[in-house]
A = this chain, B = another copy of it.
Amino acid sequence: GSSKKAEPAPGLAWFGSSKKVEAPGDDLPETPRGPRPWKAAAVGGGSWGNTVAMLIAQNTAELKDWDDEVKMQIFDEIVLTEADMYGIRELTSGSSNGTITLPEGGFGTKLSEIINTDHENVKYLPGVKLPEHLKAEPDMEAAISDADVVVIGVPDQFIVPTCAKMKPFLKPSARLILLAKGIEFVNDKLLPVTEVVAHELGFPSAQICCLMGANIAKEVAFGQFSESTLGCRNSDDLRWLEPIVSRPFFRIGTVRNVEGPQMCGALKNVVAIGKGIIDGMGMSSNTIAALMRIGMKEMQGFIL
Contacts and interface: CB of A to CB of B under 8 A. Distances in A.
Contacts of A287: 219, 224-226
B294 A214 contact: no
Contact of A227 (B18, B219, B293, B298): B293
Number of copies: 2
Interface string A276-297: 0000000111110110111011
Contacts of A224: 283-284, 286-287
A18 B214 contact: no
Contacts of A215: 286, 289
A292 B296 CA distance: 11
Contacts of A214: 286, 289, 293
B285 A219 contact: yes
A95 interface: no
A251 interface: yes
Contacts of A17: 297
SS class, residues of chain A in contact with chain B? helix
Contacts of A304: 18
A15 interface: yes
Contacts of A220: 286
A92 interface: no
A215 B215 CA distance: 26
Contacts of A251: 290
Contact of A284 (B216, B289, B301): B216
A290 B251 CA distance: 9
A179 B93 CA distance: 74
A158 interface: no
Interface of A: 14-15, 17-18, 213-216, 219-220, 224-227, 251, 283-287, 289-290, 292-294, 296-298, 300-301, 304
Interface pairs A-B: 6 shortest CB-CB: A226-B286, A227-B290, A214-B289, A219-B286, A225-B287, A224-B284
